[in-house]
Structure formats: structure tokens, C-alpha cells
Amino acid sequence: MPIAAVDYNHVRLTVSDIATSRKFYDDVFGFEVAFELPPNPDEATKEALGFLFGGVIYKFGGGLLGLRPVAPSDDTFAEDRAGLDHLSFSVASLQDLHDAAALLDTLGIEHEPVKDLGDAGMAILEFRDPDNIALEIAGPNS
């Protein structure tokens, strides 16, 4: 009998520079922080939050998204290797996709134009994070 999974719980991305990645994800998505190591933690707090590896975990409607800063500084993501291809987030409307493209423009983040996927009933906006991780925003195409 297969596992009776009902939804995703979390995704954690390995990043090379937590300050750079944190700024990017804060500026682009503005997710609420679920877990992070506070400034000047005591040993018990360090131990309890050791699973963060010095990173952060955000919470939003889709679940949890973590940034784990353990990649070498010269490493970069490639979707053609085993593992993650891309990470896609949902928005409610086509206007939200265009608003997302405008925000990326304001932030100086390169992206593809909003693409209408026709009969699939959706449109997408593709871009990359500072570690070259492929990100996508998906929404209805009308």
C-alpha cells in the first residue's frame, strides 16, 4: 500500500551565502519567518535550532521553505543534475503574475516574460535566485 501523503510539508534549498539568499527571498516573497537563530543565542537555543545550520525557515500558505547555507561559495545550481529541477509558487491571477514581473524589474532581477501555456490554463514567470536555482511563479492565464 502506498504512503497516504496529503500535501507537501516543506522544501529546503541549499544556498551558498545566507545573507545574499535571505535578502533575495525577503525582497521577492516577503514570507514570514517560522524559525531562525536569534542574535546571541544561549547553548540550549543553539542546540534546539541546530537543524537550521545557520539558515532560516519561512512559512507561507504553501507550507515551509527553508534556506540551508552549507554549499561552497563557488557552487551553483544546475537543474540538469539529479535532484531539483525548479521550484514553482502559485499566485491567484494573471495580474498577480504581471505584478510579480514588475517587482522583479524593480529589484533588478532578470526574468523571462510571462508565458501563456495555452490549453494548460496557466501562465508562468521564470527567474533564478542568487544560487541560480530555477524559480517559477504560476497562475491562471486568463
Q: Write down the pLDDT at residue 62.
A: 84
Distances (CA, A) of 48 to 39, 63, 67, 84: 14, 21, 17, 28
Max distance between CA atoms of the chain, in angstroms, equals 55
Q: Write down the pLDDT at residue 136.
A: 98
Average pLDDT of every residue of the chain: 94
Q: Write down the pLDDT at residue 3.
A: 92
Per the document, the length of the chain is: 142
Specify the amino acid at residue 6.
V
pLDDT in tens, 27-65: 999 999 999 999 899 999 999 999 999 999 999 988 999
Domains identified in the chain and CATH numbers: 6-73 (3.10.180.10), 85-142 (3.10.180.10)
pLDDT average, residue stretch 2-26: 93
In SS3 terms, 26-58 reads as: HHHHCCEEEEECCCCCCHHHHHHCHHHCCCEEE
Q: Write down the pLDDT at residue 48.
A: 95
Which residue in this structure is represented by grid cell 491562471?
140
pLDDT at position 79 over 90? no
Q: Write down the pLDDT at residue 16.
A: 94
How many Cα atoms are found within 13 Å in the side-chain-facing hemisphere of 40? Answer: 0
Among 44, 40, 51, CA closest to 12 = 51
pLDDT at position 90 over 90? yes
